[in-house]
Each structure stands twice: as structure tokens, then as C-alpha cells.
Amino acid sequence: MSHKRFLLSALTLASSLAALPARAALPTQLSQLPVYPGARPTQLEEGEWEESTLGNAKKPEVKAYLVDASIDEVTRWYAQQLGTKVGAHVDVEPSELKPGTTTPVNNDVYPHSLEDDDDGAGHLLRSKAQKQALLARCRPAFKSGEWTSSSNFDWTRLNANGSRSVYYVNLDDRGVAQDWKSCVKRTRIVLATETSQSTQEAEDAQDQAMQAQLEKTQKELGTKPPTEKELGLPLYPGARYDARASAGMSMNAQRAYLFVTDDAMAKVVKFYEAKLGKKAQGSAETGYMIPLKGQGLVPDEGLAVQQNMLPGGGKTLITVMREKK
């Protein structure tokens, strides 16, 4: 990006932020989110907010309300309470935040779909003009020919421990009858917040998952070395089986069987080339591979011979990779 373009982008962002009204500190928990005056609690709908949108987040905290007011009135009230403007949208990536700071509050307004409705057989049930006339009797248009169907506010906070909290105020017009024959001023309000795991919590969860997978694989493989029949090839004379490393190297649909020997790599390669009748690929620097199923240096199944870098001694590492049965 050129210096001029960068400066222009920075000025545009600064002017956008300056155009927003000043606001007090934003809420940091669900109980602090403002509730529209006169709104009454209501139940969450089936399947609503059952899972987090953050992937590794804790279960969302959610409250729902109904109020006898138009969605545009409720939108304007929340914009004022949250220190933003109706339709304001400033793109700030959460990764740009410093601990303890938040993104600007964004608001997205979506209009009702006012297309003609038919019964599927080509017979008109209600026209766009009829829908517009009904809404016009109920409340003013948000824009010319457009009436608000939903309005959503959201912002993100980066917490001191590295977790992210996202806050939502979602508004939905519930005043239009399903058959479009009547309309009242009624809005459903959903207040929600969800928080991702902290950096430490995410690392701990990953470690726990890896440990659980390791223990599961260890149980599957057992501690005893596999037999030649189970392995599908001869065992190298005197090689020692490493059960823990085998479990750690086994992933998804593949199982790894690791052995170490004090013999030189060249001797081990020569042994398996003779036993399997196949030529090893590779070099003394990178190690050798004898494909057992598939081809190349990364076959579906194979026998690898390389310098041993694992703790516990042994000059050469022998790895047999087999598909899980």
C-alpha cells in the first residue's frame, strides 16, 4: 500500500470513529446489558443459542424479551444506550485490540422481504404492494420502501487473560402476522454474550485432548511389542519396542510401531531390503523409506529407517506405519 493510500485509510477510519457519539464504558457481562423499558422476559426458542459461534467458547449466556414497541424505536434506543448510531459499521479486527479494549459497536439493519407471495401453483396470495400498505399503516419506513425486519448490535472485547468476549443485542420484528393481514408494534429482544477460552485455557484443553488421545491409543496398541504376524513383516533382531512413542506417533487412521536398535542404519536397511525384496529410498542424511502400500517417500503404509533422536538410547529408529484396521 502506498503512503498516500495508507494515510487516506487511516484518516477514513479516524473520521468514522469520530463521527460516533461519545459513550460510557460498554457492559462487560450479561447482567449489565440494558433492557428496553417495559420489556418482559420470554423463553428462548428451540435450538436458539445452543452453541457458541466462537468455536472454543464456553456456553453462551442469553436472555430474551418481548416489548410492545416498534423495532425502529427499540433500535434507536439501543444505539443511544451503546454509544453508536443506527447502521454504524466500523471494521476493526479483534486481533488489533489491546487487552481491556473493545471494537466499536456495529449495527446491521435488515429489511423485510416484500416480494409477491404465491401458493406454489401460480396463484397470488399477497402482493408486494399489499405488504407495503400494511407496514405503512403500522409504522414509518426505515428507508424509502423498506421496513425493518431485524436489527443486530455487536462488539468484541479482548480480556486481560487473552480470551475474547462478544456481546450481542439482536432485535426481531414480531408485529407482523404470518398471513400479513395485521400488524402491531412488537419487538423481540435477545441479549447474549459468549467468551472464548483464555490462551492458557486453550493450551490446557489442547494438552488434555492430546493426553487423552495418547492414553486411548496406548490402550489400543498395548505395551507388548507386536508379533511379526500383526506387523506383517519380520522383526529386526534385538530391536526394542517403544510403546509410548508408538502411541504418540499414531494418528487418526494410521498406527505407528517404533523400535530402536544399536545397529547402524545401513545394516538395518540391508536387512529389510533382503527380507522384503524392495529397494529403500532416501539417504543416510535424511533416512530411508521402504513403501509397503503405495509409492514414494510418503506411502500409505511404509517402513522408515532413520537416525534415532528419541531419548532412551539406541542408534537407529525403525518405524512401521500401518493403516488402522
What contacts 317, CB < 8 A, 6 or more positions away?
258, 259, 260, 304, 305, 306, 307, 308, 309, 310
> Both 63 and 132 in a single domain?
yes
Question: Domain total for the chain?
Answer: 2
Tell whether pTM > 0.75: no
Pick the last residue of a domain from 170, 197, 224. Answer: 197
Query: Which grid coordinates belong to 53?
Result: 459461534
Per the structure, the complete domain to which residue 243 belongs is given by 201-323
The SS3 call for residue 273 is helix
How many residues does this entry show for the chain?
A: 325
Averaged pLDDT in 10-residue chunks for the chain of 325 residues: 40 40 72 97 89 72 96 97 93 87 95 81 80 90 91 94 92 92 95 82 63 62 79 93 84 85 95 94 93 87 92 90 83
153 within domain boundaries: yes
Please check whether residue 270 lies inside any domain of the structure: yes
Q: Is residue 15 part of a domain?
A: no
| One domain, residues 106 and 54 | yes
- Same domain assignment for residues 301 and 193: no
Q: How many Å apart are CA 269 and CA 95, to the nearest integer?
A: 50
Residue at which a domain ends, from 130, 162, 197: 197
1 lies in a domain?
no
Helices of type H across 146-264: 199-221, 228-231, 243-249
pLDDT of 64: 97
Contact between residue 135 and residue 143 where contact means Cβ atoms under 8 Å apart: no
**Of 166, 150, 185, 177, nearest in space to 67 by CA:** 185
Predicted local confidence at residue 233, as pLDDT = 93
Asked if residue 260 and residue 182 are part of one domain, the reply reads no
State whether 88 and 207 are in the same domain: no
Please state whether beta strands 240-241 and 254-261 pair in parallel, antiparallel, or not at all (unpaired).
Answer: antiparallel
Judge if 248 and 182 occupy the same domain.
no
Phi, psi angles (nearest 5°) of residue 217: -70, -40
